Amino acid sequence: MAELLGTVVGVVSLGLQVCSGLNAYLDGVQGHREETESTRPHCSSMGALVKQIEDVQRRNSASFSGSGGSSPSLQPVLARAQTELSLLNDYLNKVCAEASTPQTTIAQKIEGQKRKLPHPRPGLESPDMPFWTQALAAASDRAKSLVVDDLVLRRQRLKKAALNRLSPEHIDRMNLNGPSVLDRHTDEVLDLLENDGHDVPFGLNTRTHKSCQTIYHRIASMWDESLVVLLADAFYSRGFHEVDAPNARGFTPLMSTRNAGFALWLVQHGASLTSLVPETVGGYTATHAALSSARSRRLQQRRHKIHLQIMAATRSAIGEAPYLDACRCRCSLRGCHPYSILLKEHRRSTRASLQSGDMGTVINELELFLVYVTASLAALEGGHWGRGPLPRDLVSTWLRGSTFAVLPLRHTCGDNRWARYDEEEEVEEILEEDAVELRRLETLLVEFEEAVDDSGSSLTEFMQTLTERDVEGARSLGVYLRVDGCEEKCESKDVDYKIVDESAARMLRHYNDKLDMLIR
């Protein structure tokens, strides 16, 4: 009994030494290169301690076997310790790769100090704070690369730990054997490891988002098109490929973004345009959402190319079949079409102009609207991305949606981006109150349909050559439509920026300065 007690005490003592070595290691890797380099002896001593525990376990097993008893196995503990040791050693080799190059002069040492990137502190382990993606996007290329590369390294180590410890069922369900960097399932992996009693190393706790969001859901909240695509490219090029993964509520990044440039980037990288958007009316798809983000009262020069490309991309998805949701709006037949969603913003602004009573404002607004429609149709039918004249059913869709937009009519599903369910009584009330304008809509559509058929031209050409005789129905509104060249309008002053309040701007500059200071 005394011998057995001594053995237990010895094993406990060795275990405490291992824990002490591990704590010293964790303290070291959070510091600079000198501190990290000093952890190498700890790593070696931990290996020796594990070897000693193995010897004790073998002697203990032999002792119990000789006495006819059974030995409590230390093998699971040893396997876990060796896995931890392998992960720690891999990380040391990575972060100390530059240590072999000596810095012999004071100038070289100073330069080396300036180039250090300290290991992220606890405050940055879970950067679920506002604007961190904006700050990263606005940082220098060097800082951006270092932060993304460090996140990739830690995510890959977390993925390796999950492959060693989680059940095959969990591994298959989350596709952890795939080539993509761990992203959508990061929080779930951490929760599973912690719930199973596994100690997750401090540096691997990279919870950068909530609700099972991917990095692209965070980017989707950004507005600056000049930065968002560059940041998305930085993550995608390093293995973050879950561009179409839904979050916990079922929304993909494409459904979430209001940034036309990022919406186009997502489509070009494989995001589905046919997925149904949750929490809205039936039949409302990612195509509706994408065109909702593409809408703008004016086509600025820098956004013109993006608009043309996203229009062409959505035509490829829509094809020649109707793409309708379950709304009862009269902007399309039997539901809202994605193209009518594109025109919603114009419908609101045009309606406000018509109600203003100022004819100059009315004429100017309708001119801008007609220019916008013409440019959108040109993207669908001609140019570099066009696919030829629209099918006849889509011609009717555009005529109805455009005419609906310039009349004082309401969508029964609401004027916001998302179509919503309305009470049947409310829908009937809207249709009843708008009955006069709805009859005018149908009358105008008959005239426009006949005019398009008689012209024998594409819808784009028809819009470009519209004359007073062709829009006789519009004269009843007291306005005269005139089409100017798109290029001049595309040069108009940009008024489509989201204004960020002063406190948000200060916070963004603060984070940007912090990132850039790391590499100065």
SS (H, E, C) 312-330: HHHHHHHCCCCCCCCCCCC
Pick from 2-11, 283-292, 453-462: least confident: 2-11
> With contact defined as beta carbons under 8 Å apart, do 414 and 341 qualify?
no
Say if residue 288's pLDDT is above 90. Answer: no
Which comes out higher in pLDDT, residue 44 or 411? 411
For the segment 476-505, the average pLDDT, to the nearest whole number, is: 43
Rounded to the nearest integer, the mean pLDDT of the chain is: 71
> With contact defined as beta carbons under 8 Å apart, do 90 and 4 qualify?
no
pLDDT level of residue 62 (50, 70, 90 thresholds): low
Which comes out higher in pLDDT, residue 362 or 379? 379
For the segment 353-358, the average pLDDT, to the nearest whole number, is: 62
Whether the CA torsion 87, 90, 92, 94 is positive or negative: it is: negative
Extents of the domains making up the chain: 1-67+75-91, 324-495
> How many C-alpha atoms does 213 have within 13 Å on its Cβ side?
17
Q: Which long-range contacts (CB under 8 A, 24 or more apart) does 144-151 make?
A: 144/231, 144/234, 144/515, 145/234, 146/117, 146/518, 146/519, 147/515, 148/234, 148/235, 148/238, 149/238, 150/117, 150/120, 151/206, 151/208
Summarised one tens digit per residue, pLDDT across range 72-127 is 556 666 666 666 666 666 666 665 554 445 545 545 554 444 444 333 333 334 44
First-last CA distance in the chain = 64
Q: How far apart are CA 520 and CA 506, in angstroms?
A: 21
Summarised one tens digit per residue, pLDDT across range 383-421 is 554 567 888 888 888 888 888 887 888 888 766 655 665
516's tokens: 């850039």
Supply the pTM of this predicted model.
0.62
Tell me which residue of 405, 424, 277 sits closest to 353, measured CA to CA: 405
Q: How far apart are CA 519 and CA 114, in angstroms?
A: 6
Say if residue 255's pLDDT is above 60. Answer: yes
CA-based R_g, the chain, Å: 32
pLDDT of residue 388: 76
Q: How far apart are CA 225 and CA 234, in angstroms?
A: 15
Read off the DSSP letter of residue 285: B
Summarised one tens digit per residue, pLDDT across range 141-183 is 888 889 899 999 999 999 998 999 999 999 999 989 888 899 9
Q: How far apart are CA 289 and CA 317, in angstroms?
A: 13
pLDDT level of residue 339 (50, 70, 90 thresholds): confident
Say if residue 248's pLDDT is above 60. Answer: yes
β-bridge mates for residue 480, sequence order:
none
Beta strands in 124-254 (DSSP E): none
> With contact defined as beta carbons under 8 Å apart, do 423 and 328 qualify?
no
Burial class (CB within 10 angstroms; exposed 0-12, middle 13-18, buried 19+) of 371? buried
Summarised one tens digit per residue, pLDDT across range 424-471 is 788 888 888 889 999 999 999 998 899 888 888 888 888 877 644 444
